[in-house]
Structure 1
Amino acid sequence: MDRNDTELQELQKRLNYAWRDPGLLRRALIHSSYTYENREQGEHNNERLEYLGDAVLELIVSDYFYRAFPDKSEGELTKMRALTVCEPSLAAVARRLELGRYMLMGRGEERSGGRDRPSILADAFEALLGAVYLDAGLEEARRVALRELADIIEEVRTGHAMRDYKTELQELLQRKAADPIRYSIIDEQGPDHDKTFTAVVEYRGKRMGSGRGKSKKEAEQQAAKMALENYPDRH
């Protein structure tokens, strides 16, 4: 591996958490582009940990807002959670932790700016949380998550969080009818380590917007943003 134990110890100090199984921490920081370019090493990437961490994070944040705001409606709590665990918010936390610096990734991904790509950073934070959960359980994962997300949660609480265009569009359209809003990825361009996705959003059979991004989530957010901008009677 390209990292040394000193670097991993440095990250553990930043998180105020020491892994019992350091292998989990190492795996949380391996991007799929690295395993693709180094198949002979037989390394596992962080995608399974990201999958687990995503679910753990959603439970932790849902539980926190449920207990902290007993007077909020289900819709309000859902919006608060979405703002907290969205890609821009998690990427901001990952940048503060400098996760990009600690990651192992392929040369192509690194050359294309992967160490600061929001989707990669957000996924890495979720993978890190999944690794904490496997290493020490839910309560330790809760402690780490709520501490690292404290600033984001405060911004959400005070109404200063980054905008979630998908939630805004859903609320706008469902004031009139509860018809489903459909997002589709209609195009993918570029190699696996540097893809660009194109998404469209449709409502009642009509295409309302399209958007591009370096992740499917980002493309969908951009499609929702266009739909909001083009909506005739938004106000």
Structure 2
Amino acid sequence: MSHQSKPYRRSRNHYDKKGGGRRLVLSEEQKRQFDDLLVRTGLTFENRKLLIQAFTHSSYVNEHRLYASTDNERLEFLGDAVLELAVSQYLYKKYTNMSEGDMTKLRASIVCEPSLARFASELNFGKLVLLGKGEEVTGGRVRPALLADVFEGFIGALYLDQGLDAVYLFLSQTMYPKINEGAFSHKMDFKSQLQEFVQRDGLGLLQYVIVQERGPAHDREFVSEVQLNGTSLGDGIGRSKKEAEQLAAKQALVSLKADVGNV
């Protein structure tokens, strides 16, 4: 019994194994857009291929039968680690009295997908992404996950091309100012927010004092006062010391933000 042979289809893996595949070639318009990006960011790239790779989605690689290593997935992996380091170092130096736990929470809110996607959108990264037609039609250019990956890929490319100092400089123009403005504080508890607010503006030293304990042992109530350089900022009443301190910090934040708004 004879068997009819099936049509032969070259897969992406076949190209990988045989060393085949096409090289990525940009149109003049695409080249102009990348030039504009460098002008807007004030950056230069010794290796322009790295820059382009940061914006090359796997769907584009598959559709155009390019070398598999042309997409940005490996750069995303590297960029993720570089961002963690860059943000960790910045928080460590900026907030000298912030606990490890609070720094972890703050860092998580900064390097999460929605935040990175927002940074990518502000830089108009979406219009530069090389996408396959399917991704294009389904709104890939504005998809948060894709934009966050591109931002990580860009950081990875910048690190490989110019090192950590270039990454720090780029983040000092894009990300660090947002941290200083308190753009991520809403993800933290009130004590952490207050700590960040006070350290950001160099206002001084915070201290929490339990000024009163009242009620029977089974129904205890605590009154906490938060002080800045020895001066009371606010107080709070709670069933535990932690709750009282959180409420005191909340009141202090309201007062401090009102004072700033009236300046």
TM-score, structure 1 length as denominator? 0.65
Distance 1:78 1:36, change over 3 A: same
**1:5 Cα shift?**
2.1
Residues in 2 aligned to 1:136 and 1:158: alpha-carbon distance in whole angstroms:
28
Alignment match of 2:103 (pick from 70, 77, 83)? 77
Superimposed CA distance per residue, residues 67-91 of structure 1 (whole angstroms, 9 cap, x where no aligned partner): 1001000000001100111111110
* Alignment-derived partner of residue 136 in structure 1: 162
The amino acid across from 2:174 in the alignment is: E
User: Is this contact kept in 1: 2:106–2:185, CA < 8 A?
Assistant: no
* Alignment-derived partner of residue 68 in structure 1: 94
Residues in 1 aligned to 2:46 and 2:112: alpha-carbon distance in whole angstroms:
29
**1:36 Cα shift?**
1.4
Secondary structure, aligned partner of 1:4 = helix
* Alignment-derived partner of residue 138 in structure 2: 112
The amino acid across from 1:106 in the alignment is: G
Is 2:67 aligned against 1:42? Answer: yes
Tell which has more relative contact order, 1 or 2 (C-alpha 8 A, sep 6+): 1
Structure 1: gaps spanning 5 or more residues = 165-235
Superimposed CA distance per residue, residues 116-169 of structure 1 (whole angstroms, 9 cap, x where no aligned partner): 000100110110011110001111111112321134313546724xx48xxxxx
User: Is this contact kept in 2: 1:80–1:156, CA < 8 A?
Assistant: no
* Alignment-derived partner of residue 91 in structure 1: 117
**1:15 Cα shift?**
1.7
CA RMSD in angstroms comes to 1.7
Which shifted more, 139-148 or 85-94? 139-148
Is 2:182 aligned against 1:153? Answer: no
Residues in 1 aligned to 2:180 and 2:127: alpha-carbon distance in whole angstroms:
27
Where do residues 182-201 of structure 1 align in structure 2 (5 Å cutoff)?
none
Alignment match of 1:57 (pick from 44, 59, 83)? 83
Residues in 1 aligned to 2:106 and 2:87: alpha-carbon distance in whole angstroms:
9
Percent identical across equivalent pairs? 43
Superimposed CA distance per residue, residues 50-107 of structure 1 (whole angstroms, 9 cap, x where no aligned partner): 1000000000000000010010000000011001111111100100111110010100
Alignment match of 2:39 (pick from 13, 17, 22)? 13
> Which of the two has higher C-alpha Rg?
2
Secondary structure, aligned partner of 1:19 = coil
* Alignment-derived partner of residue 31 in structure 1: 57
Distance 1:17 1:114, change over 3 A: same
User: Is this contact kept in 2: 1:100–1:121, CA < 8 A?
Assistant: yes
User: Is this contact kept in 2: 1:49–1:130, CA < 8 A?
Assistant: yes
Question: How many residues of Structure 1 are paired with residues of Structure 2 in the alignment?
Answer: 161
Residues in 1 aligned to 2:128 and 2:45: alpha-carbon distance in whole angstroms:
16
